[in-house]
Amino acid sequence: MGGGAYMPLAMAQRGKVETIKKINDKDEVKRFLESLGFVVGSEVMVVSELSGNMIVNIKDSRVAISKAMATRIFV
């Protein structure tokens, strides 16, 4: 998969629904993100952002993620 056209979730606009294209993370963390619903093809929306950390809406639930993770999820 090429990553050129994707942007990290960290840069996504607040309130705009995006689709996850790719997740770059270590296995263990990726697995946990997946069980929370962060899989390729899922719709995701940024609800709030606080100095890089984000609250996002995914599969009808709210999940808080750190900036480090938000930069590894591409939409």
Partner 1 sequence: MEKKEGKWKGDKDVIIMDLPGIYSLSPYTLEEVVARNYLIEERPDAILNIVDGSNLERNLYLTTQLTELGIPVVVAINMMDVVAKNGDMIQTERLAKELGCPVYSISALKGTGIQEAAQAVVAAAAKHATVPQHSFAPSVEEALSDILAKLPNNIPQELKRFYAIKCFERDEKIPIALRTAPGIEEIIANTEKELDDDSESIITNERYTYIGQIIQHCYQKKNKGGLTTSDKIDQIVTNRWLALPIFAIVMYIVYYISVTTIGTYVTDWTNDGLFGDGFYLFGNGRAAYEEANEAYTLETQKIDAFLAEATAEGIDISTAESDPIAFAAEAAQVTASVTITAEDESTQILPVTIQDYEIALQAEEPAVEDFGTWIPGIPVIVGNVLEKLQVADWLQGLILDGIIGGVGAVLGFVPQMLVLFIFLAFLEGCGYMARIAFIMDRIFRKFGLSGKSFIPMLIGTGCGVPGVMASRTIENDRDRKMTIMTTTFIPCGAKLPIIALIAGALFSGASWVAPSAYFVGIAAIIISGIILKKTKMFAGDPAPFVMELPAYHLPTIGSILRSMWERGSSFIKKAGTIILLSTIVIWFLSNFGFTENGFGMVDDLSNGLLANIGSAVAWIFAPLGWGEWQSAVAAVTGLVAKENVVGTFGVLFGFAEVAEDGMEYWATLSAFFTPAAAYSFLVFNLLCAPCSAAIGAIKREMNSAKWTWFAIGYQTLFAYLVSFCVYQIGSVISGDVGFGFGTILAILIICGGIYMMIRPEQKQKVLQAKVTA
Q: Which residues contact 54 (CB under 8 A, 6 or more apart)?
A: 9, 10, 46, 47, 48, 64, 65, 67, 70
CB of 54 to partner 1, least distance (A): 9
User: Should residue 11 be labelled a site residue for partner 1 when binding is judged by CB under 8 A?
Assistant: no
Q: Which of residues 15-74 bind partner 1 (CB under 8 A)?
A: 15, 17, 25, 27-37, 39-42, 45, 47-53, 55, 57-66, 68-69
- Cα(23)–Cα(73) distance, rounded to whole angstroms? 5
